[in-house]
Structure 1
């Protein structure tokens, strides 16, 4: 339901909609320069995104920030852990757009869930 706002009010164009079954989420991607915006919609009440939306009074909001890494997600995870960052994922997994992804715990990243990603 947020997509019309981004397209009709902000003038952005959705270039891809995809379902990621194992994460129980449907994604919509928009691009602004080199920055991608990924809108998330739960496909199951048990999904992390459904719980996030419920916790935020149905308003959603920003769930996480994702950063593309150049030396590979495994290297970025190792470097983050060496710096004392708590990891959610010890190894990459598949995400939307066939990306290899992994998450850093928000308790170690100033309260912001952080995703590391690279093309698969």
Structure 2
């Protein structure tokens, strides 16, 4: 099964880095540089997982998450908070409704471990 990941970050270099890691793991990736584009892509592509930067202008990650969870078409998609905020804790992000938390800067190994935790292939029946 091929998985599609939506990577959202207002820094184009961060999106390119995430896409490079994801593609090296064998995943497909679509990217968005802002929250409104991300919401459109999430609805259109129905990704298997979303990597969502928290600090973005206009629409921050928490607002994007609320919109995703309010939309029945995107509510079940796992969302991983991606942030460089030192004050952010895994507990805070889980309480806010994120499925996991990834601290910047991160290694490809840490990213891959998070992906493997959330992208589970169902056994054939």
TM-score range, shorter chain: under 0.3
Please say which structure displays the higher CA radius of gyration. Answer: 1
More helix, by proportion: 2
More strand, by proportion: 1
Output the TM-score relative to the length of structure 2.
Answer: 0.27
Output the TM-score relative to the length of structure 1.
Answer: 0.28
